[in-house]
Amino acid sequence: MSYRVPTVEVLAVAISDVLREHGAIASQRLFAEFVREKLGHLDKNYAVTEERVRRVAIQSGLVKVEVESRDSGVKTKMGRCPVCGSRLRKVRNETIYGGSVILGYRCTACPYSMGSTRKIPTRYIFHDALPRARPSEKKHTQRTL
């Protein structure tokens, strides 16, 4: 069975449509299923992984993501963000002697952060970053003299 990989633009449109229809989605798996369903309307052979849907959604700025995580207990050095793949920035604190200490790491593109031990993402909650404006109701104002 053959499959096709959708371009970033096609995937971004499908992600935007899914968020417009469903609002907040509390599961990466459910989010990816909705996107696959939307892509299936365009081409039955489109296939995409949950991780790619998450990363494209975050990198394109279409979603605000909440990340719930658990502590692994393993000390680690700085690397790439497990949520979006961006660089992690050091979070430093000055000591009373004039030096600095690394307290942890924070992602530059998403809300992921960790201390000196690695945190493993366990749940993602996706919200539409570009909420659609509802039709405004006309406000009737009276002008008094």
Assigned domain for 91 exists: yes
Assigned domain for 19 exists: yes
Tally the domains of the chain. 1
Q: Say if residues 54 and 34 touch (Cβ distance below 8 Å).
A: no
Assigned domain for 145 exists: no
Assigned domain for 142 exists: no
Instruction: Find the domain containing 64 and state its range.
Output: 8-128
Assigned domain for 83 exists: yes
Q: Say if residues 132 and 121 touch (Cβ distance below 8 Å).
A: no
> Cα separation of 27 and 63, whole Å?
13
Helix (H) or strand (E) holding 136: none
* pLDDT per residue of the chain (145 residues) written in tens, 0 to 9: 688 899 999 999 999 999 999 989 999 999 999 999 999 999 999 999 999 999 999 999 889 999 999 999 888 877 889 999 899 999 999 999 989 998 999 999 999 999 989 999 999 999 988 766 555 444 444 444 4
